[in-house]
Amino acid sequence: MDAHKKNATIGTMVLLNLINFGLVGFWSFDGAVMLPFLQTQFGIGNAVGGYIVGIGKLMIALSFFFGVFSDKTVSRMGKRRPLMLLGGLISAPLIALIPHMTNIWALVAALTVCYFGIQFAAVPYFSLVPEVIPNEKLGTANAFFSAFGGIGTLLAYAVLFSIIYTSNKFLAFYVLAAVHLGCTLATVFSIKEFVPDKLPEPESRFKAMAMSLVDVARDLPKYRDLTIFLISNLFFWLGLGVFVQFFTKFMEFYANIPNEPAGYVLGAIVIVSVILAVPVGIIGDKISRKHMVFAGMLTMFAALVIAYFVIGPKSSVSNLDLGSPEVVASLAQQQKVDVSGADFSPFVKDQFVMDASGKKKDINEDGLPDKKSEAMRWCLNGGLDEKGCGAAVSAVMGADNPARENTLKAMLALNKHVTSETKGVIKIAFGVISFAAIGMTICVVIMATILPTLMPESKMGLYMGFYSTVTGLGQFLSVVIAGTIIQKTLTAGNEALGYRWMFIQGAVCMLIAAIVVISVPYIPKANEPTITELEKQGEELARQLDKAQQPGKGGGKKSGGARPPQSKGKGGKNKGGKKKKK
């Protein structure tokens, strides 16, 4: 396998990471769309919505077993690529079916299997990367990993979410499904996975999955560096997960910014990650990776603290329910907007009744039915232009309603005030999110580089799966905790928390992650031995000592052998304090 690794080229790195374009595109789109989709189409709040999207995070948590399943797979195609292919074939059709689901339980079932397929493909892919790319090129390879992930995020936020989803929700899911499947096929059939001439005897994969927990529980104390690093990773995702899942709801329902400009704000993450991913990866091959991750986490901590104080709270329309007739009437009074003859009372939170053709009114022409209150909210926040707003008001009140004209005038006047306030919020948010994206890019690229260097190569799939399990657990707890707290504080009318809780949770968890990662005893640089290489050096040393102490070959009593060098808090150094040479 080592000889195969050394053949890695730039072309190999590109083709290897192409699948990540579709995987990250899916998760980014899911994070931006799913909670608002559940609220607008099924009336599901933040707490219950957090549990539903948490299903996807639980599937990530099952990655531990997917990794073992992959390790024990025996086929002429390899042990990674068959599962990557199967996962793509399972998830792609279900992505396309999601917007057609009209029953919440059918949607939950489809999402569960879809999330399963996505992660069933992802874990073997994560394991394949270090098996194809040598340690000294992992930083560069993971730069391509992040670059393709960044482009996938760009597709999700700037194209699918901001443009296609706002005009045709069905088409957005179709495009995502096609991209995901196409990228999966491209990687699976272009990368040559190492396969021995003589295949090993097949083992029971399900028995191995059952025993894997015992193996990890037995091995983790020996791999102290990996254990501490995984704890840091858990807190990293406890902090980042809440931001990824709730930011679009924060922008839409707290800052009162519609989907399109909110998507452009998230596009700042893409711009930064695409620009910085490759340079960060190259730098990570030259300097301390531990200190780079530490700096990245501190950058994210600072950005989230700043975000809490500057994104939204000074806007006079933040935290206002612009779909509430009472709130809108009060806002009009505060801004001295003439509402004589206007009537906001018809804009209730009920869906439109079916027309003669049996269809419900689709105000914004996105393919899904709308509520009457959404017509007013979109008129005020700029989600509808003047012509669309006029049609929406007529649809709610009736074209012959004597109050229609004055109501429309009042809404258009309020629209000028609302959009003037939110423009400032958008500018501030773009700057702060760009700053946070610098730290996030550093963390994502370098953490992916560090991870395989702390794992035993013979059990790469097992530990990559366990890493994904820790990541999934962090994301699941993140959205469940945040969803519950956000819903309770919104109900209580606590303006200091509500959707702004995501910044608090994110900052606290990111600071803990930074403190933990800097305490990892040994994280190898590019030119230092990995954990696997240290173990091999220790085994060779033990063999040499045993041979030297055999009777007639060096004299002395036969010793019990030497312990393999482990990084037990000594930073990869021996007792003499000298760094071990590779």
Tell me if 426 is assigned to some domain.
Answer: no
What residue has token string 């399963």? 116
Tell me if 258 is assigned to some domain.
Answer: yes
Q: Determine the residue type at 326.
A: E
Which uninterrupted H or E stretch holds 468? helix 460-492
What residue has token string 């799939």? 461
> Are 404 and 397 spatial neighbours (Cβ–Cβ below 8 Å)?
yes
Q: Within this chain, do residues 513 and 393 fall inside the same structural domain, yes or no?
A: no
Residues 6 or more apart in contact with residue 17 via CB below 8 angstroms? 129, 141, 144, 145, 147, 148, 187
Quote the CA–CA distance of 233 and 520 in Å, as a whole number.
Answer: 12
Q: Within this chain, do residues 47 and 176 fall inside the same structural domain, yes or no?
A: yes
Quote the CA–CA distance of 554 and 561 in Å, as a whole number.
Answer: 15
Q: Within this chain, do residues 401 and 379 fall inside the same structural domain, yes or no?
A: yes
Q: What is the CATH number of the domain that holds 46?
A: 1.20.1250.20
Give exposure, 527-540, as e/b (b: 16+ Cβ within 10 Å). ebbbbbbbbebbee
Q: Determine the residue type at 196.
A: P
Tell me if 523 is assigned to some domain.
Answer: no
Q: Within this chain, do residues 353 and 286 fall inside the same structural domain, yes or no?
A: no
Tell me if 508 is assigned to some domain.
Answer: yes
Which pTM was predicted? Answer: 0.72
Total domains, the chain: 3
- Rounded CA Rg of the chain: 27
Tell me if 577 is assigned to some domain.
Answer: no
Q: Within this chain, do residues 127 and 226 fall inside the same structural domain, yes or no?
A: yes
Q: Within this chain, do residues 108 and 160 fall inside the same structural domain, yes or no?
A: yes
Tell me if 25 is assigned to some domain.
Answer: yes
Taking the CA atoms of residue 229, residue 231, residue 233 and residue 239 in that order, the dihedral angle to the nearest 10 degrees is: -150
**Per-residue pLDDT for the chain (582 aa), expressed as one digit of tens each?**
444 444 567 788 888 888 988 998 898 888 778 888 887 778 787 777 777 877 777 777 777 777 778 877 778 888 888 999 999 999 999 999 998 888 888 888 898 899 899 988 988 888 888 778 776 777 677 677 777 777 887 788 778 877 788 778 888 899 999 999 999 999 999 888 877 777 777 676 677 767 777 777 787 888 889 999 999 999 999 999 888 888 888 998 899 998 778 777 877 887 888 788 888 888 888 888 999 999 999 999 999 999 999 998 889 999 898 989 999 999 999 999 888 889 999 888 877 665 555 555 666 665 666 788 888 998 999 888 888 899 889 888 888 899 999 999 999 999 999 999 999 999 999 999 999 999 999 998 899 888 888 888 777 767 777 887 888 888 888 988 998 999 899 888 777 788 899 999 999 999 999 999 999 999 988 888 888 778 777 766 777 777 777 665 544 444 444 444 444 444 444 434 444 443
> Are 238 and 479 spatial neighbours (Cβ–Cβ below 8 Å)?
no
> Are 388 and 363 spatial neighbours (Cβ–Cβ below 8 Å)?
yes
Residue 131: helix, strand or coil by DSSP?
helix
Tell me if 15 is assigned to some domain.
Answer: yes
Among 419, 452, 484, identify where a domain stops. Answer: 419
Token reading at 465: 């799966």
Among 492, 518, 544, identify where a domain stops. Answer: 518
Which residue range(s) make up the domain with 533? 529-572
